[in-house]
Amino acid sequence: MEDLELLKTVTAKAQAWLGDGYDEETKAEVKKMLENEDKTDLIECFYKDLEFGTGGLRGIMGVGSNRMNIYTVGAATQGLANYLKDAFADMKQISVVVGHDVRNNSRLFAEIVANIFSANGIKVYLFEGSRPTPEMSYAIRLLGCQSGVIITASHNPKEYNGYKAYWNDGAQMVAPHDTNTIDYVNKIKDVSEVKFEGNKDLIQIVGEDIDSQYIAEIKKLSLSPDVIAKHHDLKIVYTPIHGTGKYLIPRSLKNFGFTNIISVPEQELQSGDFPTVDSPNPENASAMAMAIAKAKEVDADIVMASDPDADRIGVVIKNTKGEYELVNGNQIVMIFLYYLMARNKELGKLTGNEFIVKTIVTTDTIKSIAKKQNIKLYDVFTGFKWIATVMRENEGKARYLGGGEESYGFLAEDFVRDKDAVSAVSLMAEIAAWAKEKGLDMNAMLIDIYMTYGYSKEKGVSLVRKGKSGAEEIQAIMKQFRENPPKAIAGSPVATVKDFATLEQKNIAAGTVEKLVMPTTSNVLQYFTEDGTKISIRPSGTEPKIKFYIEVHGTLESAEKYDETNAAAEAKIAQICKELGID
């Protein structure tokens, strides 16, 4: 009976897409699904509306209410335009920035967005071609705009696209603007409400004028120009993995003073098909394989990559055996923050009024570094909008040194309010030169950090569960862990349970419950054991996944014992995965 009711509902929704407001190609595709005996595609495309969440839209491209297409993008933009006109009713001319990545349909969607904003009397600065997400954030602040939109699905597979909305501080929206925008978008009930016919007089194309200012600002982040001058010929292999980093990241590296930037020619092609990789995600070894092959060929000092919209960074360095090995996202953030704190201290720039930011699922070793350096640390929810919120709250009061999250995102500057691979790649190259000046390679520097501040090993495990049934399974998994939390993990008793959905912290031994102080709730569970192990569990907000973050701690007695300590930590993580049923 439930299946029949669902089929009846999706059929009615699909038939509405055969109306006059939809183009012929869309109607033909919908008709084909309606006539097909197998209703799987029909249900997947129409069983719900693609949700405009607090970060915007992200989904598989195609026809239907649950897909990324000109109509779902159109409804989102019309809703946002309506909200902007109410939120800034006293402003003579509201303005927005619109950008996009290299994905299939990204330019089309960006032009649709620009047309709708302009049709609503809103001034649009539209980038002439694909640009990094952080540059769009920068442009909002530079041009004094009230909002911005970037068309991107970040590092998702090629069938996806997305729509990220930003507020006037250059950050993704938080309360009340996120929920208000969602309400306005949800009020768009019919395609006839969307103003698709643009006003060309209100659309201004931008490009190099923004690029040059952005690159110049990033150069000001450099803390070791003298070191770069000595090691300017550091061998740097960089790949954009077919994305928007192709032009600006090598340009920024050169602007920092690096002269030996080695490309991966096959991945220079900007293409939404991402032809050389299964998924354009720099955290995956397969996506970095061609860059590593190039590094072996030239004996590179460091290998780096950016994802399609150039906000995430991937890093590969030589391990103790001289083999090229991926640096995980936790280590990347830790290296950045360690350098920024240590180098500022060397230069005498620390005044005691600095702060750094990380997310709650990012390694707690950073807490040890910050504590010893006497620098304030903020621990926030996953998502750069929360890091940007702390930056906004401290603006004019304290100096931001940097912030990042384990998902390969870092931001070193305050003139952008989202993670930035353009500045991150440039700064990571500087760190490699700084380490070299001290007689260290990157791996030796990492080992020094562990010996000084405590050893940790992290692993992320994602269970992919697609479609309607997958979403229901993810909910069931979260319910199971909430109702039946483990009493011990890898032999160590669970001491504390944090549930950010209820904002409660349970101290098991004491039998007490405390309130967690956070700006809102979030569907995240954390377990902390007596031996320092941390397990975090949360559904992804952008992909059909449930994510497990495992972090174990220990002591690294000497550099010679690094491999042994690492192997023991990996064995412990494998045991934890087995216990959690995610191996």
DSSP reduced 3-state for 243: coil
Contact in structure between 304 and 264 (CB atoms under 8 Å) = no
Q: How far is CA 285 from CA 2, 143, 323, in A?
A: 43, 39, 13
To which residue do tokens 């620098």 refer? Answer: 375
| Both tokens assigned to 391 | 């930056």
To which residue do tokens 């590296």 refer? Answer: 253
Tally of CA atoms within 13 A in the half-sphere of 512 that contains its CB: 4
Tally of CA atoms within 13 A in the half-sphere of 336 that contains its CB: 37
Contact in structure between 287 and 279 (CB atoms under 8 Å) = yes
Type of residue numbered 264? V
Which neighbouring-strand residues pair with 493? Answer: 488
Q: What angle do CA 51, 116, 311 make, to 5 degrees?
A: 60
Cis preceding-peptide flag for 544 (omega within 30 of 0): no
Identify the CA nearest to 315 among candidates 158, 220, 442.
Answer: 442
Cα 273 to its chain centre, rounded Å, is 20
Helix, strand, coil share of the chain (percent; to 5): 40, 20, 35
DSSP strand pairing (399-405 vs 354-359): parallel
Q: How far apart are CA 27 and CA 19, in angstroms?
A: 8
Contact in structure between 200 and 410 (CB atoms under 8 Å) = no
Q: How far apart are CA 75 and CA 196, in angstroms?
A: 10
User: Which of these is catalytic: 130, 137, 147, 154?
Assistant: 154
| Both tokens assigned to 72 | 């779902």
DSSP state of 312: B
Cα 320 to its chain centre, rounded Å, is 30
Helices (H), strands (E): how many in the chain? 18, 23
Q: How far apart are CA 92 and CA 436, in angstroms?
A: 54
Q: How far apart are CA 348 and CA 361, in angstroms?
A: 31
Q: How far apart are CA 344 and CA 49, in angstroms?
A: 49
> Does the active-site annotation cover 154?
yes
Q: How far apart are CA 308 and CA 132, in angstroms?
A: 8
List of residues 6+ apart from 490 with CB closer than 8 A: 529, 531, 533, 552, 572, 575, 576, 579
What ranges in 308-440 are assigned the alpha helix state H? Answer: 329-346, 365-373, 384-394, 421-437
Q: Among all residues, which ones are annotated catalytic? A: 154
